[in-house]
Amino acid sequence: MTIRERVNEYAKTVYQLFWQKGVTDVMKMLVTTLDFIYLKRKTDTDPYAFNGDDTFLWGNLCLYDKIPFEEIYTYKLDSFYFKQKKYDFMGLENFPSSLTVHEFSGIYELFHLTDELFKNIDQMDVKEQDVTLHGLIFEELVDSWGILKQTRYSLSKHIAKLLPLLVDVRDNDSIYIPNGGIGELPLCTFRQVQLKKIPNQNLKDDIDGFTTFDNQIDYMHSLDRFPTKLLSVDEKNKFFAYLCAMNFFLNGVNLQIHIENVDFWNQSYAKKQKGKFTKILSCFIEKESAVRILGIRSILEMLAPNGKAAVVVPESFLFSRDSKTTEFRRSLLQENHIDAVISLPKGVLLGTNVKTSILLFSKDKTTGNIWFCDLLNDGYSKVGRRQRNADFPLPKLVNNYRNRWEENTNLMYSAQVSVDEAMANNSLLAINYYKEIEPVMKEFVDPYETLKDLLVLEEKIKTGLDELYKML
Contact 282, 253 (CB under 8 A): no
Are 39 and 182 in a shared domain?
no
pLDDT at 48: 81
pLDDT at 224: 43
Here the CATH number for the domain that contains residue 187 is 3.40.50.150
Q: What percent of the chain stands above pLDDT 70?
A: 84
CA distances to 69, 178, 344, 363 from 299, rounded to whole Å, are 49, 9, 21, 11
Contact 257, 190 (CB under 8 A): yes
pLDDT at 97: 85
Residue 310, Cβ density class (10 Å: 0-12 exposed, 13-18 middle, ≥19 buried): buried
Q: Which of 35-49, 95-109, 454-468 is predicted least confidently?
A: 454-468
Domain that holds residue 208: 151-433
Over range 131-148, report the average pLDDT: 86
Look at residues 144, 162, 195 and tell me which one is the last residue of a structural domain: 144
Over range 291-310, report the average pLDDT: 90
Are 117 and 189 in a shared domain?
no
Does pLDDT of 259 surpass 50?
Answer: yes
pLDDT at 261: 67
Closest CA to 427 of 336, 291, 304: 336
Q: Give domain status of residue 439, yes or no.
A: no
Over range 47-56, report the average pLDDT: 78
Does pLDDT of 43 surpass 80?
Answer: yes
pLDDT at 16: 97
Q: Give domain status of residue 443, yes or no.
A: no
Are 157 and 135 in a shared domain?
no
Tell which wins on pLDDT, 154 or 320.
Answer: 320
List Cβ neighbours of 92 (8 Å cut-off, separation of 6 or more). 85, 86, 241, 242, 245, 259, 260, 261
Are 336 and 374 in a shared domain?
yes
Q: Give domain status of residue 392, yes or no.
A: yes
Tell which wins on pLDDT, 438 or 170.
Answer: 170
pLDDT at 223: 46
**Residue 139, Cβ neighbours under 10 Å: how many?**
22
Q: Which of 10-24, 42-56, 138-152, 212-226 is predicted least confidently?
A: 212-226
Are 223 and 335 in a shared domain?
yes
Q: Give domain status of residue 456, yes or no.
A: no
pLDDT category of residue 263 using cuts at 50, 70 and 90: low
Q: What is the value of pTM for the model shown?
A: 0.83
Q: Which of 37-41, 154-158, 456-460 is predicted least confidently?
A: 456-460
Q: Give domain status of residue 113, yes or no.
A: yes
Q: Give domain status of residue 293, yes or no.
A: yes
Q: Give domain status of residue 455, yes or no.
A: no
Over range 385-404, report the average pLDDT: 87
Are 386 and 415 in a shared domain?
yes
Over range 66-80, report the average pLDDT: 85
pLDDT at 117: 92
Are 104 and 188 in a shared domain?
no
**In total, how many domains does the chain have?**
2
Report the DSSP pairing between strands 412-418 and 369-375.
Answer: antiparallel
Over range 419-439, report the average pLDDT: 82
Look at residues 90, 121, 144 and tell me which one is the last residue of a structural domain: 144
Tell which wins on pLDDT, 49 or 393.
Answer: 393
Over range 261-269, report the average pLDDT: 70
Are 356 and 407 in a shared domain?
yes
pLDDT at 440: 42
Over range 150-155, report the average pLDDT: 68
pLDDT category of residue 441 using cuts at 50, 70 and 90: very low
Are 347 and 399 in a shared domain?
yes
Contact 141, 114 (CB under 8 A): no
pLDDT category of residue 229 using cuts at 50, 70 and 90: low
Q: What is the 3-state secondary structure (H, E, C) of 323-382?
A: HHHHHHHHHHHHCCCEEEEEECCCCCECCCCCCEEEEEEECCCCCCEEEEEEECCCCECC
Q: Give domain status of residue 76, yes or no.
A: yes
Distance between CA atoms of residues 246 and 254, nearest Å:
10
Are 310 and 367 in a shared domain?
yes
Look at residues 92, 116, 144 and tell me which one is the last residue of a structural domain: 144
Summarised one tens digit per residue, pLDDT across range 332-357 is 999 999 999 999 988 787 767 788 99
Q: What's the chain's average pLDDT?
A: 83
Are 128 and 199 in a shared domain?
no
Are 423 and 283 in a shared domain?
yes
Does pLDDT of 132 surpass 50?
Answer: yes
CA distances to 43, 150, 175, 241 from 304, rounded to whole Å, are 41, 33, 11, 25
